[in-house]
Amino acid sequence: MATRSQARGVVMQLLYAYGSGNENIENFIEEVLQEQKIKNTQKQFAMNLFFGVIHHLKAIDLRITHQLKEWNFSRIGEMEKAILRLGVYEIVYTSTDRAIVINEALEITKGFCNDNSTKFVNGVLDGVCKNLQIPLEEIERMICSKG
């Protein structure tokens, strides 16, 4: 039986495909999950994560952008974006403990990226946690005022 960690790994890969321009990946999500042996409650968990990220993508990307100092969102690699989007979704929209979310994101990052990416993902997710009380409208105003 698949674990939540394995389900998150597959969701991250689906989000990577989506972010890389394969927006039709959502039509194949059930097949991909079945191939990866993600079934039953873990399948539902994975589908909730994937579609939750897609549904809240603009808000998630705003929260990520808000954490970037001297860096542009468009410069983030697609793999790192996928990991960050999944992590931010879980932090903001689920009741999963934030420490678990960050740890899971870091483990995924270690498996797919380099040490600098791991530090970057940790910093961004930690910042999102610290700034959860800031309303999206205010974040959007701050980002727009930066130019």
Mean pLDDT calculated for residue range 29-58? 96
Model-level pTM? 0.95
pLDDT interval class at 146 (50, 70, 90): confident
Q: Which amino acid is at 13?
A: Q
Report how far apart, in Å, the C-alpha atoms of 48 and of each of 26, 55, 68, 116, 123 are: 12, 10, 27, 29, 25
Q: Please tell me the distance from the alpha carbon of residue 143 to that of residue 62, in angstroms, as a whole number.
A: 8
Q: Please tell me the distance from the alpha carbon of residue 1 to that of residue 57, in angstroms, as a whole number.
A: 30
Token output for 119? 């530090």
50 or 114, higher pLDDT: 50
Mean pLDDT calculated for residue range 128-143? 94
Checking if the pLDDT of 1 tops 80, the result is no
Checking if the pLDDT of 23 tops 80, the result is yes
Mean pLDDT calculated for residue range 117-143? 95
Token output for 90? 């879980």
Token output for 54? 């897609």
pLDDT interval class at 143 (50, 70, 90): confident
Q: For residues 87 and 129, is the Cβ–Cβ distance under 8 A?
A: no
CATH number of this structure's domain 4-146: 1.10.940.10
pLDDT interval class at 147 (50, 70, 90): low
| Mean of all residue pLDDT scores within the chain | 94
**pLDDT on residue 71:** 82
Under DSSP, the state recorded for 20 is T
**pLDDT on residue 32:** 95
Q: For residues 10 and 29, is the Cβ–Cβ distance under 8 A?
A: no
Checking if the pLDDT of 53 tops 70, the result is yes
- Residue 92: which of 142, 49, 39 has the closest Cα? 49
Checking if the pLDDT of 28 tops 70, the result is yes
